[in-house]
Amino acid sequence: MLVLSRRVGESVVLGSDIVVTVLDVRGDLVRVGIKAPRSVEVHRAELLEELEETNKQAASPSEETVANLSEALRRRSAE
Amino acid sequence: MTVTLNPADLVCHDVAVTDDVPGDLPLLDLVRPMVGFPEHRAFALVRLDDDGVLTSLTSVDDDQLRFLVVPPAQFFPDYAPVIDDEVVAELEIADVADVLLLVVLTAGATLADTTANLIAPVVVNVRTRKAAQVVLETQDWPVAAPLMG
């Protein structure tokens, strides 16, 4: 990992068209501005980790689970 | 339920989007893959019930990999995701009527334990067959919303 130190207002450039700027620092909270092409998705790392974990848990439920869910939904819509 | 699609000329209120899954949709191309499953791009939507509600999003390359999805409107009437113009462009959305919105379920042992991911819905353009799991970074929807309120 490349480690750089920045003061408020200073920036880091990634590749040719991504700029990360330190906007302000308040206590342990650092606000960061990101300029990137619209095609580059920017996400908080922990959100992506959470989503990956959620998708993995959601993936490939057993046939029994699916049958139970389907039946439960059918019963509810019949009410 | 309201889905907002940017740019503004595609804003729709009160659900013009398809709210049940068509039975005859050909294969989808996931231009943004399911988070954590970057290798899987081709998926089939397979109806699991007669109403077009419970649906399986099944990988073509590995039919053991599938996700349970539902159109969210009947379960989450206040759900109001905003889909940005980058997604609209990637999926080549030209008409809001072509948009099918789906949310991924984590099935529990009972219906009461089953949750839906509202922070990363799957947006499908039924005309172009392009789809994406869209991470709604700046919107505050839950990742595990109870299906039964």
Chain B contact for A67, CB < 8 A?
Answer: no
Chain A contact for B61, CB < 8 A?
Answer: no
Q: Does ipTM top 0.90? A: no
Q: Give the pLDDT of residue B19.
A: 59
Q: A27-36, B19-28, B126-135: which has the minimum mean pLDDT?
A: B19-28
Question: Residue B50: is its pLDDT beyond 90?
Answer: no
Q: Which of B107, B117, B113, B114 is nearest to B143 (CA)?
A: B117
Residue A26 forms beta bridges with which residues? A29
Instruction: Please name the residue that has the structure tokens 């109403």.
Output: B51
Chain A contact for B51, CB < 8 A?
Answer: yes
Tokens of A15: 């590749």
Query: What one-letter code names the amino acid at A30?
Result: V
Taking only the tens of pLDDT, chain A with its 79 residues reads 999 999 999 999 999 999 999 999 999 999 999 999 988 999 999 999 999 999 999 999 999 999 999 999 988 888 7
User: What pLDDT, in 10s, does the model give residues B69-82?
Assistant: 999 999 999 998 99
Residue of A41, A53, A60 lying closest to B65 (CB–CB): A60
Q: Give the pLDDT of residue B42.
A: 96
**CA atoms of A24 and B22, how far apart (whole Å):** 49
**CA atoms of B58 and B28, how far apart (whole Å):** 10
